[in-house]
């Protein structure tokens, strides 16, 4: 295996899914200016996520309703010949 190709500054980081509010503690090299107090009483850097495995439809099994008819009507109304 090649040496010295992986970062050496791994640390514990809290990832927070902003769509449903769940958080989990993991190790990462991601930079963050925000911190949060975790369940164990320690303060860790906070990384905010738009979507995670707790909110993604593939992992939750929930399908998202997409309003395609509304989008088509909106497009036709916007670009209709006057």
How far is residue 8's CA from residue 4's CA, in Å, rounded to a whole number?
Answer: 9
| Sequence ranges of the domains in the chain | 11-79
Q: What would the pLDDT profile of 35-67 be if each residue is shown by its tens digit?
A: 999 999 999 999 998 887 777 666 566 665 556
pTM over 0.85: no
């Amino acid at each position: 295996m090649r040496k010295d190709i992986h970062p050496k500054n791994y640390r514990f980081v809290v990832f927070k899914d902003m769509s449903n509010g769940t958080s989990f503690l993991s190790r990462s090299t991601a930079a963050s200016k925000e911190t949060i107090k975790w369940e164990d009483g320690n303060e860790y850097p906070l990384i905010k996520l738009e979507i995670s495995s707790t909110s993604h439809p593939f992992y939750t099994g929930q399908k998202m309703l997409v309003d395609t008819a509304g989008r088509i009507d909106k497009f036709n109304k916007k670009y209709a010949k006057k």
